[in-house]
Amino acid sequence: MYLKRIIPKMIPAIILLYFILQTMILSSAETPTGTELRYTMSYIYFGSTGSYISHVDRTNGSLDEISPNYFNLNKDGSLALTPATERTFIDEMHRRDISVVPFLSNHWDRELGQAALARREELAGQLAEAVERYDLDGVNVDIENLTENERDLHTDFIRILRDKLPDEKIIGVSVAANPYGITTDWKGSYDYESLGKHSDYLMIMAYDEHYRGGEPGTVASISLAEKSIQYALSKVPKEKILLGIPFYGRIWKNGSGFPQGVGISNMEVQTLVSQYEGSAAFDPETFTPTATIKVKEKDEKLKIRGIPIGPGTYTICYENELSIKQKLRLIEKYDIKGTGSWSLGEETADTWEYYKLWSNGCYFDDVGKHWARDYIIKAYKKNWVMGVTQTTFCPDRPLTRAEASAMLVRLLKLPAQFFEESTFTDVSGHWAEGAIDTAWSHNIVKGVAKDRFEPEAPITREQMAVILHSVLEPYTFYGEGKPLSFSDVSPESNPWSWEAIEHIDGLGIISGFGDGSFRPKEALTRGQMTVIMSKLEKICAK
């Protein structure tokens, strides 16, 4: 029987596992917030409701929350549901494990915002009822263009809303970027400190630095973003701060005949620059791009926000990969909750190849489209794995025996073992010498011979199964009597590894392939190892 065969070997493994679990429990309690994946939300406003799902799906699983425009205001300040409110979309988002937190907006109408706050008790009740009726996950309050006179009323509205919504529902508050601590006019209408006490996060609208009707200039300079974070940190905990990132720019015409500073999506900028053979430059001080286009009389006239682009010279200030990446660096630098963005569907498609990586401090350029991206990010943030270089991870490269040893030592947080002479002659002076000696001393890895380890040799899938089997032996898999799991694994062809493969497969740590094979002799890749580590952590934490 399976249990009878493993009982004599269990006592030393149980001792090792007890030590591992105690270490992991202690380390979990001490884990800083910086090891958690950053939160990503985005507003969705433009386009038809039918396009919303496709906009979300092209984010490649990067979103935690979507905030559609479901909540408007009637003239008397009561709640008005928009035509976009749609249960089908909400259900689809929940199937994708994305929270739906619609935003309530007065659309810059001061009188409308004041009317809403005047009947805040009733409005909060209406919002709570809508959240329950549509199975929503909360409310994002985006009331703008008030003054310091409404500051306390605005805070009280958030307090009332918190009281009326169940604790598990999200309350977000969109707040003006306030890098200089202004206490008057619309920037002064937000009491960051008090709002933070009643909400789950403040979403800093760190954009529209230059705006429609104003002079040409950056929409979101790096200094605006950084100083706005610094101000927010002086008022609220870092885990309640989202940095707003624009997916749009603004366009100005040199001269008259066009609405100055009209909004333009980052996608449209690419189209205009290509259509009119424009030129682009990047300002290293503001860390933002600018484009110039010249439209001739004979050129085809495109439209922006329904407005035709007539002949003339235009200046466009917008966002691109370089400027967005620089802002994303601030998330890790200040260890804040994450980001929000205005608005989904306006970004270029390649944005989602780097967005989640960079917001989590992972600067690898070969992981964005990889199937193991989220596992790689998690393993990297927890310091289980390192990159091959600062910008490459090489997820499909075979994992070496040295790398495997180092990763397991880091994951299990085993205390380092140092010997006067290395256990193996071929690891002396190797970068992973300490990790190999430590893993060997805890009976996690073995050499290929008495004095040889072959640290740079690829580790196979069956070798990893045997290693994990030795660590997880006390976790019994009741597989006795059932058919073997894989078409290419048997006691005859894999006498030293088949039992380990069956055990680890039964625990759900290493699975096979769609054709029913395990491919025991195939090299394990670096990307596959990050998945294994995530599953191993969960097993050991039970």
**Could you read off the pLDDT of 127-165 as tens digits, one per residue?**
999 999 999 999 999 999 999 999 999 999 999 999 999
Q: How far apart are CA 75 and CA 78, in angstroms?
A: 7
Q: What percent of the chain has pLDDT over 90?
A: 85
Helix (H) or strand (E) holding 43: strand 39-44
Res. 126 pLDDT band, cuts 50 70 90: very high
Q: How far apart are CA 254 and CA 129, in angstroms?
A: 50
- Among residues 65, 144, 268, 347, the one annotated as catalytic is 144
Tokens of 456: 């740079």
- Nearest one of 424, 486, 478 to 455, comparing CA atoms: 424
Residue 107 clears pLDDT 90, i.e. is over it = yes
Strand-pair partners of 319:
none
Instruction: State the CB neighbour count (10 A cutoff) for residue 246.
Output: 26
pLDDT of residue 476: 61
DSSP E strands in 338-401: the ranges are 338-342
Res. 478 pLDDT band, cuts 50 70 90: low
- Nearest one of 250, 253, 264, 178 to 208, comparing CA atoms: 250
Q: How far apart are CA 29 and CA 220, in angstroms?
A: 38
pLDDT of residue 16: 41
Q: Active-site residue 193, yes or no?
A: no
pLDDT of residue 531: 97
pLDDT of residue 14: 38
Res. 540 pLDDT band, cuts 50 70 90: confident
Q: What is the mean pLDDT of the chain?
A: 92
Q: Are 359 and 40 in contact (CB under 8 A)?
A: yes
pLDDT of residue 484: 86
Instruction: Summarize the confidence of residues 421-434 as an average pLDDT.
Output: 91
Pairing relationship of beta strands 248-253 and 262-265 according to DSSP bridges: antiparallel
Q: How far is CA 441 from the centre of its chain?
A: 37
What are the angstrom distances between the C-alpha of 136 and each of 88, 340, 393?
12, 18, 38
- Nearest one of 444, 456, 440, 327 to 398, comparing CA atoms: 456
Give me the residue label for tokens 């979309």: 89
Helix (H) or strand (E) holding 435: helix 433-441
Residue 421 clears pLDDT 50, i.e. is over it = yes
Residue 35 clears pLDDT 80, i.e. is over it = no
DSSP E strands in 256-383: the ranges are 262-265, 279-283, 288-295, 303-304, 307-308, 312-317, 338-342
Q: Are 41 and 203 in contact (CB under 8 A)?
A: yes
Q: How far apart are CA 123 and CA 338, in angstroms?
A: 29
pLDDT of residue 541: 75
Q: How far apart are CA 25 and CA 33, in angstroms?
A: 16
Residue 264 clears pLDDT 80, i.e. is over it = yes
Instruction: Summarize the confidence of residues 430-441 as an average pLDDT.
Output: 94
Residue 363 clears pLDDT 80, i.e. is over it = yes
Q: Long-range contacts: 63-66, Cβ < 8 Å, 24+?
A: 63/98, 64/39, 64/40, 64/98, 64/99, 64/338, 65/39, 65/40, 65/41, 65/98, 65/99, 65/100, 65/101, 65/137, 65/170, 66/41, 66/42, 66/93, 66/98, 66/99, 66/100, 66/101, 66/344
166/418: higher pLDDT: 166
Res. 422 pLDDT band, cuts 50 70 90: confident
Q: b/e map of 397-411 (b: 16 or more CB within 10 Å)?
A: bbbbbbbbbbbbbbb
Q: How far apart are CA 534 and CA 379, in angstroms?
A: 7
Residue 441 clears pLDDT 80, i.e. is over it = yes
Instruction: Say if residue 143 is exposed, middle or buried (CB neighbours under 10 Å; 0-12, 13-18, 19+).
Output: buried
Could you report how far apart the first and last alpha carbons of the chain are, in Å?
Answer: 26
Res. 449 pLDDT band, cuts 50 70 90: very high
Residue 456 clears pLDDT 60, i.e. is over it = yes
Q: How far apart are CA 289 and CA 282, in angstroms?
A: 4
pLDDT of residue 28: 35
Res. 34 pLDDT band, cuts 50 70 90: low
pLDDT of residue 2: 36
pLDDT of residue 420: 76
Query: In this structure, what DSSP letter does residue 38 have?
Result: P
Q: DSSP 3-state assignment of 536?
A: helix
Residue 9 clears pLDDT 70, i.e. is over it = no
Residue 494 clears pLDDT 70, i.e. is over it = yes
**Size of the chain in residues:** 542
Residue 208 clears pLDDT 90, i.e. is over it = yes
Q: How far apart are CA 485 and CA 479, in angstroms?
A: 10
